[in-house]
Amino acid sequence: MTGWLAALLLPTALWGTGRWLAERRATEPPFLAHAAIGFLSPAGLLAWRGRPFPEQLLGWAVGVLVWAGAFVIRDAGVFVAFGLLGAAWGAGLGLQTLRPATAAAAGAPAPVPRQPTLRDRPDGDAGAASFALEMRCPTCGAALAVPVYRRMVRCEFCASEHVVVRGADTMTAVIPDVLADEQALRESVVKHLRYRRYLELYDQRVRPLVRDAAFARDPEGGEFPVLLETGGAPVVDAVEAEVSRTADAWAARLAPRVKILAWRRFLAPYWHRFGTLYQSAFGRDAAGAKRMEFTVTTIEGSVRANAAPLPEMGKLSYLRALRPAPGAPEAAIPALAVQCGPDEIDRRVQTLSQRSTELPIVPIAVHATFVPEVVALIYRPWHVVEVGIDGETLAMMVDGGTGRVEGDAPADEFAAAPLVIPPGDPPVLTPSRCPECGADLPFAPDAVACLCRSCFRLVETPPPRWRTIPYLHEDAADGARLMPFWRFPLRLRTPAGVLITDLPHLTDGIDGTFDQIGDRPETAQRFFVPAFRTRVSKAGVRLYRRLWPAVQGKAHELLAERFSPARPPARVVEVTLPAAEARAFARVYLALAFTQRDLARAQVKGVRERFLSAQLEGDPDLVFLALPDELVGPFDALFGRARVAALADLEGGPDAPRR
């Protein structure tokens, strides 16, 4: 009886010890200890490692057999046999702790801790869309960071609101140089060397502790581990903190020995585009059915304007506000010559536009149009520095915009000359007032036309100057909101010269026959295209799908006079899509007109000729339609500027890792 009591109580006590260690989140045993502990107490090891309860219970049963062989049967063979089973079990668990290191040795992607980045800034607009320009409030003189897509801006210091008036077609800007002197440059080099030392220590001490890791992406595009087994996370955090302190101490000892032997800086030009890519495609869904789909993606991308072997620009939204080149202190830095025009980035975008970005089908044929909104010539400061450390010389290339070492300096000499700023006025801010009645316009950062809430004229914001534009509207019923649409005449001109003027002839004839409408003659028809942007492409497409049947093909009683101040509309969505860009949107928006019946017998040649390659003719009217709140209310958060997708995202390549 005493033997059975010992065989039951001992593995139970060891099991409880393992659970106690797990609750205290104690450091897990090294690989070799796994086998030894598994021999004596499989349940305790399983509990310590946080394995599921049924697995722990099975380990407890094996442990009972191990100790029964010692205290009840008194057979060394039974004791060793079941003990070796537990040891093998423990060794298998121990191998999991070696997987990250093994993967790194094999060249697999290695988990790297997320480091603080310049995108982690408290201004509330970081990463929202594209880059910002540094401008001065004309009322109080405070510095404002104005995203380039914005048409209006509010000063947080004096609460004044202003309209952004752009000058030249091409914006010339410089990235502020954060390395103003030799001391700042030395600190940047020491920080880089400290980071390299940190990574070495991380590989030695932290990586073996990272197990069963799933990888997530930080806002900069880099990968970092998310521990699935939370029991190990505090240990990893503690060891990583110790590694960071060790790297800090190492850098403090290194800093006095770092000498700047030579240093020169220059500006490198990059062409930058910001705009929207509209795509419509004919293809098949997961079930094999033919479908027509469309997508809208805002794109930000850059290309080098000089052939020098320098890194690509990448996204600019992680930087602080750029400065207009005229009058900027960086304009005194020598610059490389501009060797190519903005057509280079246009060609790159057009090539990439043939790929499907977010289409929910396998495309067979794609129509794409890129509508550029901002073109900028951006000068990026670079520093070439020779560093001496204990008699060793290192040549480094340092990014002046981030103060970060980007790698070894190339052997080429860069022929820089005084910066020549192209002629043209930089953007300015002007008071946000209606030019007709003088009332303050409603604040809408990305509106291209604002409805004055005093005289109810529709005011088109610059460029090139203030002007009022006509509009039509429905009566604003209770519980409805007024939403802007561009009303286009349906005039699709095919490459063969055929003019299609109504939807039935477009949709029914896409397969080359008119089996639904027969010989019914065409009639002049119009269709409505949303005159507002959405923040997220996929959710925006869902909203546009809901709007299509709600507004197309219905007889709308439209009024030509302005809204009456006696009955002002309660809720109006601002116009954020200009007519010129709406034409490109209209071409892809028509993809919603086709049903599966229309496309069932369609062939790709006919779809290309009658739809994808056709041109839309005619000028649109701006119309405000009253739509029920239950239709558009769930999408309130979508109204505004669409998210940005960099060109690198279209190419399928990750962004450069940030530190």
Q: What is the pLDDT of residues 366-416, one digit of tens each?
A: 888 888 888 889 999 999 999 999 889 999 999 998 888 988 888 778 888
Distance from C-alpha of 659 to C-alpha of 115, rounded to nearest angstrom:
5
Asked if residue 375 lies in contact with residue 171, where contact means CB atoms within 8 angstroms, the answer is yes
Q: Judge whether residue 541 has pLDDT over 90.
A: no
Q: Check: CB of residue 137 under 8 Å from CB of residue 120.
A: no
CB 33 within 8 A of CB 49: no
CB-based contact 15:60 (threshold 8 Å): yes
178: nearest Cα among 118, 90, 112 = 118
Pick 429 or 659 by higher pLDDT.
429
- What is the tally of helices (H) and strands (E) in the chain? 16, 25
- What is the CA 356 to chain-centroid distance, rounded? 17
Q: Is residue 71 part of a domain?
A: yes
Q: What is the mean pLDDT of residues 280-296?
A: 89
* pLDDT at 586 exceeding the cut of 90: yes
The last residue of one of the domains, among 47, 64, 97, is 97
Q: Give the SS3 label for residue 52.
A: coil
| Residue 534 structural domain | 460-650
Domain end: 97, 113, 140, which one? 97
The pLDDT value recorded for residue 575 is 93
655 in any annotated domain:
no
Q: What is the pLDDT of residue 213?
A: 45
Mean pLDDT, the chain, whole residue set: 80
| CA–CA separation, 208 and 403 (whole Å) | 32
Q: Which pair of tokens denotes residue 563?
A: 């809204």
Helix ranges (DSSP H) in 440-536: 503-508
Coil, strand or helix: which one is 585?
Answer: helix
Contact of 446 with 150, CB cutoff 8 Å? yes
Residue 167 CA to residue 581 CA, distance in Å, equals: 20
CB 39 within 8 A of CB 59: no
**462, β-bridge pairs:** none
Are 244 and 200 contacting, i.e. CB atoms less than 8 angstroms apart?
no
For residue 655, the model assigns a pLDDT of 38
Which of these three, 97, 129, 160, is where a domain ends? 97
Of 280, 297, 355, nearest in space to 537 by CA: 297
pTM over 0.85: no
Domain count, the chain: 2
**552 in a structural domain:** yes
pLDDT tens by residue, 151-197: 899 988 888 999 888 877 788 999 999 888 889 999 999 999 999 99
DSSP state of 367: E
Residue 65 lies in a domain: yes
Quick one: pLDDT band at residue 641, thresholds 50, 70, 90? Answer: low
* pLDDT, tens digit, 9 for 90 and up, residues 487-507: 999 999 999 999 999 888 899
Top-confidence residue, 285 or 44: 285
pLDDT at 308: 87
For the purposes of burial, counting CB atoms within 10 Å of the CB of 156, is it exposed (0-12), middle (13-18) or buried (19 or more)?
exposed
- pLDDT confidence bin for 115, thresholds 50/70/90: very low
Tell me the percentage of the chain whose pLDDT exceeds 70.
82
| Confidence grade of residue 542 (pLDDT, cut at 50, 70, 90) | confident
Q: Would you say residue 331 lies in a domain? A: no
Over residues 14-24, the mean pLDDT reads: 72
Which contiguous run of DSSP H or E holds residue 191?
helix 182-201
- Taking residues 202-225, what's their average pLDDT? 58
Q: Confirm whether 224 is domain-assigned.
A: no
Q: Which of 127-141, 305-319, 404-418, 577-591 has the highest mean pLDDT?
A: 577-591
In a 3-state reduction of DSSP, which class is residue 648? helix
Please list, in sequence order, all residues whose beta carbon lies within 8 angstroms of the beta carbon of residue 221, skipping any fewer than 6 positions away. 654, 655, 656, 657, 658
Q: Which of 15-24, 68-77, 257-266, 479-488 has the lowest mean pLDDT?
A: 15-24
Residue 587 pLDDT level (bands cut at 50, 70, 90): very high
Question: To 5 degrees, how large is the angle CA 158–CA 163–CA 167?
Answer: 125
Weakest mean pLDDT among 342-356, 537-551, 552-566: 342-356
Is 638 a residue whose pLDDT tops 80? Answer: no
Q: Collect all residues with Cβ–Cβ distance below 8 Å to 656 and sequence separation of at least 6.
A: 221, 311, 312, 314
Cβ atoms of 140 and 123 within 8 Å: the answer is no
pLDDT at 211: 52
